């Protein structure tokens, strides 16, 4: 995902490598405006510019004593990891182009220490041996061991507030280690909250300043089984509880006619009601009753009609009862002593289910974003071309499912990441030039740098594994045969590509 590198006169300045990383971050500080001398020392500033404005000596330390500027990424799933690896692999090597250029550190904030491979959630929820927890939950921090030459840190916590005026994010931290790490990033050690006692209110909520901010918090499904809701062990517990109940359940109700609902109903039927493999597949003696409510006129209403018809035919072939034009209006968990669920439908009827799964779409994780930066559905209003959140000030971007441009698909994530990182590089270099020439000298050095513009592909590429060895799929708006769905996704739900995503920040559908 490398991007085109800008060419400008600032490349003629000798490269100054960043200082060696340290586990103990120094005190936050500014940078001097003194004039560098040939011997490496700095001349005491007297006057600057044609108007003769007197420069005041900076009281903040420089060089090794200067605190790095924080590049904060909120979110550590597909979009957040891609941006983080791109920054450490490419962006950081093209910075530090002026003698007064600051140092940078990358700060990744995530409520979970593990990434959830929710691509395979429809199969992982059926049984624990189909996709094991070790494959479905990938630790994030070890994936950055190869970047140990740069300053970066992972903080476990959730963002509760974003202030564009003070350029800070307020974090609700999880655990003493996260509290300690965040306190080391505050402006001055004397102002850091007391973390000697874990869990104190001052330590749990901390404010972190940012120099640049990337919003990559993604979206969350309504079910704990399909996406993370806080730390990953919440989802692990939800999966274990579902596995314990599914064997004894007789009636399972799935709500949602989109890809998640279609795949979930198909995987449940294929693995619970049949044994053996085609053509020796055999239906079990007491198959479970699986009911799917699509809530629309057909399956996969957002795709071509042919794909929806094929999906419904395969589901019915597995024994799934598919009902259209009916929506779920209320779900009453444990309404009687048996612990079953009463599902109230839009047609005035109700269905009693042993297990209920809601696959009715997602909501953006943007509750912390000011209302003026969000649209009516809660998505962050970023520029559809540059990915900047213009109303939030300088060097703020949104990418992935949380942004308004996204259609909640993988292609919209990895197509936009190079654009975000190229434009972030331009903004950071522009800051370095302004820092070196605060009165406008050297602005011509930025003339060779241009914004990169994201162009969204208006074609559908969706893969929905339904049976053990097939399903329905569109690839560039063309319906593909069932065997290709199996080869491209249904074989292992791309679990074989977890390292490609977590360690390299690349797309799970990238050819290697």
Instruction: Give the DSSP per-residue string, 10-79.
Output: GGGSPP-PPPPP-SS---------PEEPTTS-EEPP-EETTTTEEPPPP-S--GGGSPPEEEEEE--SHH
pLDDT at residue 25, as a whole number: 33
Measuring CA to CA, how many Å separate 333 from each of 344, 353, 376?
11, 10, 30
Among residues 413, 453, 446, 415, which one has the least CA distance to residue 429?
A: 446
C-beta of residue 400 within 8 angstroms of C-beta of residue 216? yes
The residues pairing with 219 across neighbouring beta strands, listed in sequence order, are: 364
The residues pairing with 291 across neighbouring beta strands, listed in sequence order, are: 253, 321
Q: Do β-strands 219-221 and 212-215 pair in parallel, antiparallel, or remain unpaired?
A: unpaired
Dist CA 227 CA 208 (whole Å): 27
Prior bond of 279 cis (ω within 30°)? yes
What the block records as the tokens of 497 is: 């590509």
The contacts of residue 313 (CB under 8 Å, 6+ apart) are: none
Angle at 178 between CA 175 and CA 181, to 5 degrees: 150
Dist CA 89 CA 147 (whole Å): 8
The beta-strand segments (E) located in 266-311 are 274-275, 282-283, 289-293
Q: What is the DSSP letter of 121?
A: H
Map tokens 């045969």 to a residue.
Answer: 481
Residue 93 phi/psi, 5° resolution?
-75, -15
Dist CA 156 CA 177 (whole Å): 8
CA 459 to chain centre: 22
Dist CA 330 CA 349 (whole Å): 11
pLDDT at residue 358, as a whole number: 94
pLDDT at residue 279, as a whole number: 67
Map tokens 């001055």 to a residue.
Answer: 188
Dist CA 460 CA 306 (whole Å): 13
The contacts of residue 496 (CB under 8 Å, 6+ apart) are: none
| Per-residue model confidence as pLDDT tens for the chain (512 residues) | 444 444 443 344 444 444 444 443 333 333 334 444 555 444 444 444 444 444 444 444 444 457 899 999 999 999 999 999 999 999 999 998 888 899 999 999 999 999 999 999 999 999 999 999 999 999 999 999 999 888 999 999 999 999 999 999 999 999 999 999 999 887 543 344 555 445 444 579 999 999 999 999 999 999 999 999 999 999 999 999 999 999 899 999 999 999 999 999 999 999 999 987 666 778 899 999 999 999 999 999 988 778 999 999 999 999 999 999 999 999 998 777 778 999 999 999 999 999 999 999 899 999 999 999 999 999 999 999 999 999 999 999 999 999 999 999 888 999 999 999 999 999 999 999 888 887 766 565 566 678 999 998 877 789 999 988 889 998 877 889 999 999 999 999 999 999 999 999 999 988 76
The residues pairing with 353 across neighbouring beta strands, listed in sequence order, are: 341
Dist CA 370 CA 150 (whole Å): 32
Task: Concatenate the DSSP letters of all residues of 449-489 into one string.
Answer: ----------S--EEEE-SSS-EEEEETTEE--HHHHIIII
CA 187 to chain centre: 27
- What domains appear along the chain, each with residue ranges and CATH number? 65-218+365-446 (3.50.50.60), 220-363+459-502 (3.50.50.60)
The contacts of residue 237 (CB under 8 Å, 6+ apart) are: none
pLDDT at residue 441, as a whole number: 60
The contacts of residue 223 (CB under 8 Å, 6+ apart) are: 238, 357, 358, 359
pTM: 0.84
Dist CA 211 CA 72 (whole Å): 8
Among residues 465, 485, 483, which one has the least CA distance to residue 475?
A: 485
Among residues 359, 410, 389, which one has the least CA distance to residue 119?
A: 410
The contacts of residue 41 (CB under 8 Å, 6+ apart) are: none
C-beta of residue 199 within 8 angstroms of C-beta of residue 94? no
């Amino acid at each position: 995902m490398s991007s085109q590198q800008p060419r400008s006169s600032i490349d003629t300045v000798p490269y100054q490598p960043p200082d060696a990383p340290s586990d103990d971050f120094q005190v936050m500080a500014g940078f001097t405006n003194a004039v560098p001398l040939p011997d490496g020392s700095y001349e005491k500033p007297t006057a600057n510019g044609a108007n003769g404005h007197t420069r005041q000596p900076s009281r903040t330390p420089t060089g090794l004593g200067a605190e790095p500027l924080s590049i904060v990424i909120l979110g550590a799933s597909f979009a957040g990891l891609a941006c983080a690896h791109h920054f450490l692999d490419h962006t950081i090597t093209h910075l530090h182009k002026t003698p007064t250029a600051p140092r940078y550190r990358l700060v990744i904030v995530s409520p979970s220490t593990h990434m959830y491979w929710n691509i395979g959630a429809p199969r992982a929820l059926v049984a624990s041996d189909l996709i094991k927890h070790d494959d479905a939950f990938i630790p994030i921090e070890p994936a950055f061991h190869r970047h140990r030459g740069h300053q970066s840190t992972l903080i476990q916590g959730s963002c509760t507030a974003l202030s564009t005026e003070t350029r800070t994010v307020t974090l609700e931290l999880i655990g003493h280690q996260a509290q300690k790490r965040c306190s080391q990033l505050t402006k001055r050690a004397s102002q850091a909250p007391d973390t000697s006692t874990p869990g104190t209110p001052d330590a749990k909520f901390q404010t972190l300043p940012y120099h640049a901010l990337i919003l990559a918090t993604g979206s969350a499904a309504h079910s704990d089984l399909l996406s993370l809701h806080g730390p990953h062990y919440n989802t692990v517990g939800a999966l274990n509880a579902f596995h314990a109940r599914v064997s004894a359940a007789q009636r399972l109700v799935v709500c949602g006619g989109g890809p998640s609902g279609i795949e979930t109903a198909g995987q449940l039927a294929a693995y619970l009601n049949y044994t053996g493999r085609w053509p020796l597949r055999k239906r079990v003696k007491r198959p479970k009753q699986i009911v799917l409510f699509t809530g629309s006129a057909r399956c996969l209403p957002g795709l071509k009609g042919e794909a929806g018809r094929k999906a419904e035919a395969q589901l019915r072939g597995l024994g799934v009862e598919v009902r259209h034009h009916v929506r779920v209006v209320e779900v009453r968990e444990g309404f009687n002593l048996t612990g079953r669920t009463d599902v109230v439908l839009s047609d005035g009827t109700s269905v009693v289910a042993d297990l209920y799964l809601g696959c009715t779409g997602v909501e953006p994780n943007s509750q912390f974003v000011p209302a003026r930066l969000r649209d009516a559905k809660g998505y962050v209003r970023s520029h559809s071309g540059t990915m900047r959140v213009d109303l939030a000030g300088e060097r703020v971007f949104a990418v992935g499912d949380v942004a308004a441009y996204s259609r909640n698909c993988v292609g919209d994530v990895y197509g936009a990441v190079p654009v975000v990182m190229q434009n972030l590089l331009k903004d950071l270099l522009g800051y370095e030039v302004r820092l070196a020439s605060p009165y406008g000298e050297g602005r011509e050095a930025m003339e060779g740098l241009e914004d990169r513009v994201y162009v969204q592909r208006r074609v559908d590429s969706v893969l929905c594994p339904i049976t053990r060895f097939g399903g329905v799929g569109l690839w560039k708006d063309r319906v593909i045969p069932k065997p290709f769905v199996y080869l491209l996704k249904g074989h292992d739900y791309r679990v074989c590509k977890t390292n490609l995503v977590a360690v390299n920040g690349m797309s799970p559908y990238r050819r290697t």
